[in-house]
A = this chain, B = another copy of it.
Amino acid sequence: MPAEAQSKYDQRLVFVLKTAAAIFAEKGYHSTSIRDIARATKMSLSGLYYYFKSKEELLFLIQDYCFTTVIDDCRRLLAGVSDPVHRLKLLIENHLNYFVQNMNEMKVLSHEANAISGDLFKKVNNKKRQYVDLAMKLLEEIARDYRINDLDIRVATFSLFGMMNWIYNWYSPRKDVDVAGLSQTITRLFLSGFLGDKRIQTEQLETGRESHLERSVSIWQQ
């Protein structure tokens, strides 16, 4: 972890991973050839295989490294904070901050989650489950504290991750608000939505819920 303790090998590996992640993020995992990575790193095709033993393992190394850091940072950040709302707020902040600061790797983690298989998939997926569980447990705790019983916690949890993980599809550090603003907006959107004013739900949102659902059964249905 500490940057000054990295061996030559480790530095080179990180360089390869970062370069590969950038290309994966741009063209997608399957459209990227090892030859693309060789060109970008100025290494030979076979020289790359000194650092990973298959293309799939290369993807794994990127995803695992990335996920491990997010979770570790998150745990460190939450340590000693007991208020679940505050904890959730820190989780969101950490997630978004890391996401924006490591957009390539996080895009590869989010978008290529199913491009990996077998044991390597299981390994990454276990980390993901831990992380999602952490968030879901927080929401359950908050729901208990605030007596929120009309919200499906699983839907709420993945709605939150949807808001956060979707940003690789649109966020541009150049044109958009900065990370602090992004974090603030999403935190406010989600949290005041979750804790939300019940009046808004019942009075404004209850009207005519069933009347038009059959409309979007499309030609796909035959």
Contact = CB atoms under 8 A, between A and B. Distances in A.
A191 B193 CA distance: 7
Nearest to A158: B170
Interface in A144-191: 150-152, 154-156, 158-159, 161-167, 169-171, 176-177, 179-191
Interface of A is mostly: helix
A205 B185 contact: no
Interface of A: 1, 3, 14, 18, 28, 30-31, 65-66, 69-70, 73, 76-77, 85-86, 89-90, 93-94, 97-98, 101-102, 105, 111, 113-115, 150-152, 154-156, 158-159, 161-167, 169-171, 176-177, 179-197, 200-201, 204-205, 207, 209-210, 212-213, 215-222
Given A102-B220, A189-B190, 13 more contacts: A3-B222, A14-B220, A28-B30, A76-B215, A98-B218, A101-B216, A101-B218, A155-B181, A162-B163, A162-B166, A192-B196, A192-B201, A193-B194
